[in-house]
Each structure stands twice: as structure tokens, then as C-alpha cells.
Chain A
């Protein structure tokens, strides 16, 4: 595009008092040869904004606004499509956080302006990626309560759904239940199983197609264009879907492993599913005494360390079954903590009112005599061993294991596994591998593995508290008990939310936009393939599996899988990956645009690459709190530290910067990076550059990573000062002035 520039400096909010604005204008006019540079004392006022709008009407399409942070006054400075806008934060990050009317403060502001001018010079407007033959249908894998709900809810919003169910009929585990736990008054009446009505509604809905006795053979493509092969009735059917919901649920924890609780030894020791069947068959009317053993396998480091979340409520419900079919029946619940959260407390109260006896403790032994069973338990309340005798049945509340937790790791021969282990030992800095088991659920044609990466215990859950649907494969949403242990009502709610996310993803693809967390972003990475050396780093490091590769190792990007973080751009040693508005060259040139004083000026310079989600707001907040911090720093916001390309470090060093600081999110088990591994990858890359630095006689300490979150903003002055002090000890960068 033919750029017509306008630079509008705000002098309000103390900016004019702190800085020499004429000198700023000189940077624009003399150095960058842009003569359309104006000041306004209150740029965000209607008058100020109108000034800019009048220029836009005259053809200005490239705008730089040195004023406040882009996180404020965003409505005022939004000028619609077709206009490039960059905000230079000379308020929070300069005027409010540095000494007014000071040489160093002025130099900081001028450098920030130079960096912005350079950035904008190299910015092009992104054009959204349009996919061909986009499908708006939702594929639901698994026809249990979660899958059925997801399909039904998507259909109710006007979208088509395809369910693939491996069993002969819809319904899953819940389908085999007698009744379900009540979620509303009256708590003494158990609602009917919702599955039959839901099955009928699905069968009657022309927008839902159901394949039973079917499995997914493979899924290729990406959001909007998932090409699905379904194995059904001895043949293969092709479907195209826009998004995928993984609702394959969990399986009950194998009770055969619970021999210590009498399973397999006594036929009257059964599991929760068996008890459902007894209730369906009406066989509880002759049953007098039933013991429910909670946490059978769950909350037990030998089996499942986690709590299976549903079993307490399920046992309460089953105790009611007994009461319903035999009012004289007596239930005992042996538990550790009775976890009837929220309004399930009412069900708990009801079951207590029914006369059920609750005993807190560890079950010590199960004994059988003349057809009846005895539970011996160390009663935690009484502090002594108690025996409950004459039980007709003992029901083990046996918890759940996600279907994603089964299967082998993707095809490795023994030799390969050994080689991999050896490599791991030798190179500690290698990128940690995702855990993906061949569980035969989705069979994704993804270079990084056929299923969703899993977190602890095999659940492919989101890692984020705030974003429970943020899975690691774009457009694929795990839902229900495959994602996390949960009860029936939660699974249905979860399924409705997943249907929302699926629809949203499809609409974003249709508009050529990114999904969360860079929602609405129209840029995408472009590959200058003629310079590709097939090193495979981009395909290996992409946190979302967005890049496949051909047999020669060339990357094959699937654009709609991409979240636009730029990790591939950071990984590429040949620097062939770039976005229209974000590239290795752009950032490198921004660093080079800084005027680094000579050694004798004794004005060190520190280049900071800061994550735009956490570190940049932290800097803003430090300014808002009028915390004063080091003026040697020059900050470049990055989409994610994962996009850090090592050439930027050498650019900075050869330019004469005395140090480089990376400010990004915490990594490790509780990582906060929303592109999963960005800050971790950056730190790994740094460790690789440190050798090179040492070789060049540049202390590797000059480059450092510091984890920071927004609320650490009060520590910014000390973080910067301590780094600056260390650099002072090291002395100036010897490459300065070369």
C-alpha cells in the first residue's frame, strides 16, 4: 500500500511538561522525512481525534500516535480497516515513570518514536486467509451424554452436527443409569435418565447425523476444513467438519485392581455400574443392607491420585435407589470426605434424613460369612475399628479414567526410544515433548501426533483457569469426563460451552480470523520456501501442531490451525517466516533504530523484549503508579517470547546494547504462557546463544530472562536496576561503536 503518514503527538497528561516535543517532531521530520507531524494538548478529545480524522479523509493511512498506552483510549484512536495505527507509549512508560525535563528521559522518548516509525515503515495491512469449501458442521466424537448434548446444542443454534459413536447406540455410560442425581428441588425425587428423551430428539433432528458402531479413522486438515474419515458398517465414509468436539468420556476405574476391597473375591462386591443395573432390574426391593465404599481407587496414590468428582454424589443417589425400592433398606457410606458440592448438599441432607449411616475412615478389610459381607473400617471419628456386618452388597465407587489416558506413545521402535532417551540426557535444553498417546480416538493427521496432548493423569484439559476451553489443538475441544472428572450435570453444561466454542471457531475461520487468545487477528505466518533448509524446527516447536511437513521435511502450514503467536518465526534459523505486520526483520530493525551512545557518554542501553500480555501491562501499571525506573531501557513488545529469534540478540549486541532482557511469563508446571511454551522456548534458545556470546568475548550474563506477571509491577524498578548494576560491573559492550 502507498503509505501516507501522519504523526500526532499528545502533549497532555504531563507529556508536554516532561519532554521537548519539538525535538520529538524533529525526529519525525528530519530523520524519517515525514513532514505531517502535529501536536495536540488533549489528543483524545473530540477536537484532537477530529484532527486525525480530517487527515484520514485527506488520504492519510499510516498513523503514529505518541501519547498514552494503547491499552487506554482505544475507542478514540480506532480508525477502522485500511489504516495502519501504532501507538507509542510516552505517557505511562516515559513521562510518568521518568524524571521530567531530563536528557535521558528525552532520549528514551525519541528512541521509542524511532522504533515505532521503523516498525510502521515495515508494516503492511494483513489480508485475512480465506479457506475454500469451508464447512460449518460440528463433528462430535463420542455419543454419550456430553457428546449428545454438544450436538443438540449446536443444532439448536442453527448448525449441523455429526456424531460418531463407537457403541451400537447413543447414550454412553449415563445411558445405562437408572436415574440421575437431582440438581433442583425436590431432592427426594430423582429425575428420570435424560438419555432416552435426548436420543429421540437427536433422531428427530434433521440437522444431526449419527453414526453408531463407528470410529474415526482419520482427521486431516484444520478448522473449517477438517476432512474426516469415519469407519462405519464395514466401509469408510467421508465428512467435512469445521470444528471437532472430543466427547469420548472416561471409563470406570478397573475394579479388578481393587482386590483389597474384596472385588473378585466376593460376588456381592460390585461397582457403581453394576448397582445401576440392579436398580433398573428392580432387584433392590429384596436388598436390606448395602455398603458404599467411596474413593475406591481414587485419592489413592497407588491408583488414581485425583478425586473422581462424581462418585460421592453418585453414591448418594444410589443410596436413594435403595430407599425407593426397599423403604426398610439400610445404606452405609464409608468415606474420606463427603464431596457433595454446591446444591448437592441438599441431596446429602436428604440421604442423611433417610437414615443412611456415614462413616469416615479408611476401610481396613472386607470379610465374608454365610452370604453376607462385613466391612471393617478404622473409624476416624470414634478413633477405633468398627465392623459393619450383614451387608448384602458392597458397592465400590470406582472413579473414572479418561479415554485419552490409554494407548501407546506414537510408533517408536526400541532403538528409537533408546536414542531419544540418550539425546534427552545429552541435551537438557531440548524442547520438552508433549505427551500424546495413541488412544485411537481422533487419529489426527498432525505431524506432532495423532491425538490431543494431555496434561497430568492423561486428561487433555485446558491448562488455564480463565480459559477452560483453551485446548492445544485449534478447533478441537475436549468436553465432559474425558477432559476432567465431573458429574453428569457438569458434563452437560461443559458440552454446551464446547458447542459454543466450536461454532465460534468456525465463524472465525469463515472470516479469516484467529481464535483465542489473539481473537480477530487477520495476520498469519508466510513462508519464503525458497530459503527453507528443511530443519523442521518450526514444525517441532509450534505449540499447536499447526505445521505439517512433507516427506522431505518442508513445512506445510495449516493456516486455520494457527494461533498467530510467532513461535515458528522465532524458531526459524533462516528467518523465512513472517507476518505482514510482524517479522524478524521488523523487530531487528526496531532494535537497530535506537541511537546507542558511545562508550565515553556512559549511557548504557538495555534492550527489552516484553510479552505484550503481561510484561507490557506491568510496565504500564508501574507508570500509572508513578514508580520511577531505569531510563536506559528500550522496550520492544512481542506477541510472545516464543517468537524471539536469536538474530535479534546479535542485532542488539552488534548495535552496541550492553544487555538484553526478556520479560515474559512464568514457565514450568504452572506455566502461564497462553502460547504454552513461549517463554520456556525463549529461555532454551537463550541458553544456546550464551555459548556463542562467550566465544565472542561477550559475557552470556548480558542476556537474561526474567519471569514477570502483571501484578509484579511494583518490582519493575528493582528488576531493571539490578540488571543494570550487573551490566555496569561487566562494563560496556566491547562491540559498541563498531
Chain B
């Protein structure tokens, strides 16, 4: 008899969707999420294309579904260490990482108030600072504080320990291991932004005003690091000319050969953020092909109507920054048939999706990823269904669709021992 419990690894929009879909069909589900909160990358987005609506609305519905469903259990700050067994009967070891804060936490916030240690805010891609004791973000679910165990000064400081009235702080918390037995696994560990520092000639890190598309998302959020203002990191000034570099690391044999699928639409969306704040700013989009699939074409057509958004087919080469923070891009303009130079106040790299499984694989003892690191479709046959961006680059609705399919595959994997 197969175990009917389903393990979902990754609690982003794909994992969350897969878990909810299976649970609402009556299955027991366990989610294992690496972050201290659920929701994954989409929690860091300002708006979704093409509706320009905030991701929080759908997340709230999903969290409500989760709160009201007794069949779902989840672990945050947790990761899968090993998987053994086979479809219908997997033994899984899950490591629970210490957060120094236990279930007593009421999110009252006193620990953050007294914490003396400032660290770069990873949620905002380092655009601002947070405390070692922090709430990862305002919309965090579960609403629970966490402590950066590396930055924390420990018992020698202990200020948070003193102020917490609820005995929620445990600076000696150790990692724990939990063993699970499940029938099927959905692998939904999502994506990381491709590391822009690997594209040396763009000078990310060296050129202060070269940022990535995910950073721009954070800047656009009202509750974000810049209070919703899109500004130059070097001096906080409003940019007058902004350049988007498409396929930054994608469709490139030296980096990621595949197309990351979302970056064109993400850039089109981001031009609307800029336009809303700066009605006169000039925006240049350097691209190979604009891939606005299906009805997204309408959105492309809408942005094309904006006279201040200029599309240039061409590959961006070297980017340099002068002392005033102004950038110069060398572009092989395919229309003009020559190399042109374009000045900009802010450059946004449309970096693509890199699956974390490229480096980590899936700890199952055999290979279930392709050469790019994505979980292969056929892995579902052995009980491990990839879902969302762990399987292929995809936008949110595509990921949810795929996650819903993965939920069914997982259920199939638990029907009488498979098939």
C-alpha cells in the first residue's frame, strides 16, 4: 500500500499551488521551504504582468486556503537533506535550520527594536539594511520573526532575550532533523536570478548604477527600500534615461543558452513603473527578440505606443560608468548596422532564471536534472514531479498551471503504489 502523503519541496507560488491543489482534493501534504516564510520570489515582486496587480492578493487567498486546510503541514527554514526509497514509499530527511526564535513569537517586534546588529537586507537584494533579528518582510507568512544566526552576537549580547515577554527567543537553538515517509514528491525549488557579476563587461558591482530587474521590482514597491521611488543607487537621483539590457546572461552560450521566458514581459512591465513616476524619462530597450506570447502581445503593443520607450534590436557590450554616475553602453545596433554608444543614468539588466538545482541537484541518489539544471519531465515517472521554474523558465500563471499538473502526478504516484 502506497503512502498517500505528498511532499512538496519549495513553498513559492509553484510549491504552494501544488500543495493546495492536492490538499483540496483530500491528500495530506507536507511543504518544506528554505526561507522563514512562504511565497518565494513572488513576494518580492511589485506587480504581475499583464494586469499590473500586486502578487499579495493571490498570495493572501492561498494563505487563507492553507490556514483553513488541516491536511497541509509546512516547515519553514528547512531543507531536504536526503531522499531514499521509491515512488509510493520515499523516506525523506528534512533539516530544520535554527532561527533562534520559537513558535511562541507573536510578531510584537521588540527584538528588532533592541537588536544592535545591522545586516544587508537580503529580501531587498541588499538595497537597504535590516537587523539581525527581523521580520523578513511586512507580508511574511507565517508572521514570525527570525534571527540571522551568523550575524547574531549570541548570548554575549542577549538584548532581545531580555525584552521578549513571550520566551520566544532561544539563542542556543540547534538544527534538527525530521524524518518523513511520503508517497510522491513535487520538486518546486524555483529559480535564482542569474548572477550578473558573471557577465564581467556589464560591470555589475563596479558600476553602481547598473542594477538588475529584480532590484528594480523592490524599488517600485511603496513599502520597499526606497519608498517606491525608482532612483539611481549612486546618488538617489531620479534617472532621466534608463536602459534595459535584455537577455543579460540568457540565450548566450557563455552563460545560459536557453531563453528565460519572462524577462521580455518583465521589462515591458517595468517600463510602466518608470513611466508612472517619470513622465518624461527616456527608456531604451536593447533586445534580440521581444517574446510577448499569446495575449501578452497586447501589453507589448501598449508599451510600443509610448514614444519615450525606444526598442533597439542589438546586443549590449561593455558598460562603463563615469565619475558622475552616468553610464555608457556599447551596443551593436542591428538596425543601424554599426556599434553605437548610448548614455544612461540607470541600466537595468534583465537577468534570467537560474535553477538552484543546477548546483544542488535533487538529493535522491540519481540524476533527475538536465544539463541546465532543470528537473526533467520524465522524473515524474519515478515519483518526483518538477513544478514551475524548477522544471523550466516560466511566468507565474504558467508555473501555477504546471504546479497544478504536478499535484495530479503526485496523486497518481500515490494511487495503489503508482499507476
Q: Which residues does chain A contribute within 8 Å of B55, judged by CB atoms?
A: 466
Q: Which residues does chain B contribute within 8 Å of A501, judged by CB atoms?
A: 21, 404
CB of B52 closer than 8 Å to a CB of A: yes
CB of B139 closer than 8 Å to a CB of A: yes
Q: What are the 5 closest A-B residue pairs judged by CB atoms, nearest first?
A: A466-B58, A497-B404, A496-B405, A500-B408, A337-B289
Q: Which residues does chain A contribute within 8 Å of B402, judged by CB atoms?
A: 493, 497
Judging by beta carbons under 8 Å apart, are A485 and B295 in contact?
Answer: yes
What 1/0 flags go to B204-242 for Cβ under 8 Å of A?
000000000000000001110000000000000000000
19 additional A-B pairs beyond A503-B25, A617-B60, beta carbons within 8 Å, are: A13-B106, A45-B104, A71-B64, A153-B408, A157-B408, A306-B294, A337-B290, A339-B291, A342-B392, A456-B295, A465-B48, A465-B397, A500-B21, A500-B408, A503-B408, A516-B24, A516-B65, A670-B52, A711-B223
Smallest CB separation, A411 vs chain B (Å): 29
CB of A196 closer than 8 Å to a CB of B: no
Q: Which residues does chain B contribute within 8 Å of A12, judged by CB atoms?
A: 106, 108, 165-166
Chain A interface helix/strand/loop/mixed: loop
CB of A129 closer than 8 Å to a CB of B: no
Instruction: Name 11 A/B residue pairs within 8 A (Cβ), A-sorted.
Output: A13-B106, A42-B106, A157-B415, A341-B259, A343-B259, A493-B402, A497-B404, A504-B24, A517-B61, A517-B64, A709-B57
With A341-B261, A466-B13, A508-B24 known as contacts, the answer to whether A299 contacts B297 (CB < 8 A) is yes
CB of A581 closer than 8 Å to a CB of B: no
Judging by beta carbons under 8 Å apart, are A467 and B295 in contact?
Answer: no
Judging by beta carbons under 8 Å apart, are A466 and B24 in contact?
Answer: no
With A157-B412, A613-B57, A613-B60 known as contacts, the answer to whether A714 contacts B405 (CB < 8 A) is no
CB of A621 closer than 8 Å to a CB of B: yes
With A45-B104, A72-B143, A494-B401 known as contacts, the answer to whether A342 contacts B295 (CB < 8 A) is no
CB of B53 closer than 8 Å to a CB of A: yes
CB of B376 closer than 8 Å to a CB of A: yes
Within 8 A of A (CB), among B395-409: 396-398, 400-405, 407-409
Contact of B294 among A307, A338, A714 (CB under 8 A): A307
What interface size band does chain B fall in? Answer: 35 or more
Closest-by-CB residue of B relative to A299 is B297
Within 8 A of A (CB), among B21-79: 21-22, 24-26, 46, 48-49, 51-65, 67-69
What interface size band does chain A fall in? Answer: 35 or more
Contact of B259 among A184, A342, A468 (CB under 8 A): A342
CB of B257 closer than 8 Å to a CB of A: yes
Smallest CB separation, B279 vs chain A (Å): 21
Q: Which residues does chain A contribute within 8 Å of B377, judged by CB atoms?
A: 183-184
Within 8 A of A (CB), among B274-314: 289-298, 301, 313
CB of B258 closer than 8 Å to a CB of A: yes
| Number of A-B residue pairs with CB-CB distance less than 8 Å in the complex they form | 246
Judging by beta carbons under 8 Å apart, are A307 and B21 in contact?
Answer: no
Q: A493–B380 Cα gap in the complex (Å)?
A: 12
Q: A341–B296 Cα gap in the complex (Å)?
A: 13
Within 8 A of A (CB), among B149-176: 165-166
Smallest CB separation, A692 vs chain B (Å): 33
Judging by beta carbons under 8 Å apart, are A345 and B258 in contact?
Answer: yes
Q: Which residues does chain B contribute within 8 Å of A45, judged by CB atoms?
A: 104, 166
Smallest CB separation, B109 vs chain A (Å): 8
Closest-by-CB residue of A relative to B56 is A710
CB of B370 closer than 8 Å to a CB of A: yes
Judging by beta carbons under 8 Å apart, are A714 and B25 in contact?
Answer: no
With A337-B289, A381-B335 known as contacts, the answer to whether A520 contacts B408 (CB < 8 A) is no
CB of B334 closer than 8 Å to a CB of A: yes
CB of B315 closer than 8 Å to a CB of A: no
With A157-B415, A709-B57 known as contacts, the answer to whether A519 contacts B138 (CB < 8 A) is no
Judging by beta carbons under 8 Å apart, are B107 and A624 in contact?
Answer: yes
Q: Which residues does chain B contribute within 8 Å of A74, judged by CB atoms?
A: 67
Smallest CB separation, B202 vs chain A (Å): 21
Judging by beta carbons under 8 Å apart, are A156 and B54 in contact?
Answer: no
CB of B348 closer than 8 Å to a CB of A: no
CB of A474 closer than 8 Å to a CB of B: no
Q: A341–B259 Cα gap in the complex (Å)?
A: 6
Q: Which residues does chain A contribute within 8 Å of B412, judged by CB atoms?
A: 153, 156-157
Q: Which residues does chain A contribute within 8 Å of B98, judged by CB atoms?
A: none
What 1/0 flags go to B328-367 for Cβ under 8 Å of A?
0000001101000000000000000000000000000000
Most A-side CB within 10 Å, residue of B396, B404, B409: B404
Smallest CB separation, B328 vs chain A (Å): 24
Q: A380–B400 Cα gap in the complex (Å)?
A: 37
Q: Which residues does chain A contribute within 8 Å of B392, judged by CB atoms?
A: 342-343
Judging by beta carbons under 8 Å apart, are B65 and A497 in contact?
Answer: no
Judging by beta carbons under 8 Å apart, are B25 and A500 in contact?
Answer: yes
CB of B394 closer than 8 Å to a CB of A: yes
